[in-house]
Amino acid sequence: MATLTVPTTVPSVSEDCEQLRKAFSGWGTNEGLIIDILGHRNAEQRNLIRKTYAETYGEDLLKALDKELSNDFERLVLLWALDPAERDALLANEATKRWTSSNQVLMEIACTRSANQLLHARQAYHARYKKSLEEDVAHHTTGDFRKLLLPLVSSYRYEGEEVNMNLAKTEAKLLHEKISDKAYSDDDVIRVLATRSKAQINATLNHYKNEYGNDINKDLKADPKDEFLALLRSTVKCLVYPEKYFEKVLRLAINRRGTDEGALTRVVCTRAEVDLKIIADEYQRRNSVPLTRAIVKDTHGDYEKLLLVLAGHVEN
């Protein structure tokens, strides 16, 4: 469930553009007006605003925002204003450029988007960077990480609910054998995780637990410091329980000494129109604190206000 709230009656696109133009004119910027408009428009509406703004004023809205805003608030607004596929392309490009073995953003995008969303992100990557996401992932990653990430970002999974129980049984046995042998990057382990439908993987992992007594992720914790195993565990979590994966990202982002604004911004931006309500429920269940209260405690100013709006917080 999404947390984004869009008014029942939305002003015309030209009116939104006019108001945004006003927010940039005169002394100072009216950040509240930017939040009120962009923070309550869905992706289709935001795309139309960007198109109309460029046609009316001869300027890209993103460039206008970039000139007027700064710091974490600017990053949040600019990411939010992007089309979801463009945003994923940008996040993926940043992840390849700054890639380290603990960076899980590429896997997150590959495993939590639908087949079409991932395809559109790859197409947006072509348009924006004049090369493919696959070639950048291959160029910037190495070893077992490349072996897993490349097929994940190249994937186009079947999305039906049909499940082959015989296949689930066979592949659960296969996964158990490979993990028991510590062959974590075996071709078959990666093949199953990178190509099977989410419904099929769920059936396989349920059979794994029933047959062998442990969640697969428990068996993948042989070495807690091994970053490839950490990536494998997160891959499983993203495919089967994305809300638990995102809850952990938020927990680590908000509960550290010093907030990880990059992770907080990314999760709120990318999930507000998808399932942030489910993630927030999981966050409250796990931490006994509402997500919005945690955001208030760790952020401030216009950045905090827009995060709260996107997280569905309603002022009493």
**What SS3 string covers 13-56?**
HHHHHHHHHHHHCCCCCCHHHHHHHHCCCCHHHHHHHHHHHHHH
φ, ψ of residue 240 to 5 degrees: the values are -110, -45
Is 299 annotated for ligand binding?
yes
pLDDT by residue for the chain (316 residues), tens digit each?
999 999 999 999 999 999 999 998 877 899 999 999 999 999 999 999 999 999 999 999 999 999 999 999 999 999 999 999 999 999 999 999 988 888 899 999 999 999 999 999 999 999 999 999 999 999 999 999 999 999 999 999 999 999 999 999 999 999 999 999 999 999 999 999 999 999 999 999 999 999 999 999 999 998 889 999 999 999 999 999 999 999 999 999 997 577 899 999 999 999 999 999 999 999 999 999 999 999 999 999 999 999 999 999 877 5
Instruction: Determine, yes or no, domain membership for 230.
Output: no
- Residue 152, amino acid: L
Please name the residues in contact with 277: beta carbons below 8 A apart, sequence gap of 6 or more: 1, 2, 3, 312
Q: What is the pLDDT of residue 46?
A: 98
Instruction: Determine, yes or no, domain membership for 143.
Output: yes
Last residue of one domain, picked from the residues 81, 107, 138: 81
Given a contact cutoff of 8 angstroms between Cβ atoms, the answer to whether 167 and 205 are in contact is no
Domain total of the chain: 3
pLDDT in tens, 258-315: 789 999 999 999 999 999 999 999 999 999 999 999 999 999 999 999 999 999 987 7
Is 162 annotated for ligand binding?
no
Residue 73 sits in a domain whose CATH number is 1.10.220.10
Is 68 annotated for ligand binding?
yes
Residue 218's nearest CA partner among 229, 227, 203 is 229
CA 260 to CA 72: how far, in whole Å? 11
- Residue 156, amino acid: Y
Is 9 annotated for ligand binding?
no
Last residue of one domain, picked from the residues 81, 107, 136: 81
Q: What residue numbers bound the domain in which 147 lies?
A: 84-154
Same domain, 171 and 150: no
Given a contact cutoff of 8 angstroms between Cβ atoms, the answer to whether 121 and 92 are in contact is yes
Same domain, 33 and 94: no
Instruction: Determine, yes or no, domain membership for 124.
Output: yes
How far is residue 267 from each of residues 29, 44, 85, 188, 276, measured CA to CA in Å? 26, 20, 15, 31, 8
Q: What is the pLDDT of residue 88?
A: 98
Same domain, 143 and 203: no
Is 26 annotated for ligand binding?
yes
How far is residue 254 from each of residues 99, 180, 260, measured CA to CA in Å? 22, 36, 7
Torsion of CA 110, 113, 115, 117, to 10 degrees: -110
Same domain, 165 and 202: yes
Instruction: Determine, yes or no, domain membership for 241.
Output: no
Q: What is the pLDDT of residue 258?
A: 72
CA 266 to CA 278: how far, in whole Å? 16
Same domain, 126 and 168: no
Is 256 annotated for ligand binding?
yes
Residue 307's nearest CA partner among 60, 86, 79, 15 is 79
Same domain, 148 and 183: no
CA 151 to CA 23: how far, in whole Å? 45
Q: What is the pLDDT of residue 179?
A: 97
Same domain, 178 and 215: yes
pLDDT in tens, 149-159: 999 999 999 99
Is 181 annotated for ligand binding?
no
**How many residues appear in the chain?**
316
Instruction: Determine, yes or no, domain membership for 299.
Output: no
Instruction: Determine, yes or no, domain membership for 260.
Output: no
